Amino acid sequence: MLIETEPTPNPATLKFLPGRIVMDAGTRDFATPEEAEASPLATTLFDLGDVTGVFFGRDFISVTIAPGAEWRDVKPDVLAILMDHFTAQMPLFRGGSAGFSVPPEEESFADDPADAEIVAQIKDLIDTRVRPAVANDGGDIVYRGFDKGKVFLRMQGACSGCPSSTATLKNGIEQLLRYYVPEVTEVRAI
pLDDT (tens digit per residue) in 81-94: 999 999 998 888 98
Q: What are phi and psi of 8, to 5 degrees?
A: -125, 170
> Does 71 fall in a domain?
yes
- Model confidence at 161, pLDDT cuts 50, 70, 90, reads low
* CB distance 1 to 87 below 8 Å: yes
> Does 17 fall in a domain?
yes
- pLDDT score recorded for residue 144: 86
> Does 102 fall in a domain?
no
> Does 93 fall in a domain?
no
The angle formed by the CA atoms of residues 161, 163 and 164, to the nearest 5 degrees, is 115
pLDDT (tens digit per residue) in 26-78: 888 998 999 999 899 999 999 999 999 999 988 999 999 999 999 999 999 99
- pLDDT score recorded for residue 101: 46
Domain assignment of residue 177, given as a range: 113-189
- Model confidence at 130, pLDDT cuts 50, 70, 90, reads confident
Find the DSSP H helices in the chain: 40-46, 71-87, 116-125, 131-136, 165-167, 175-180
Output the domain CATH number for residue 147.
Answer: 3.30.300.130
Number of structural domains the chain divides into:
2
Shared domain check, 81 and 151: no
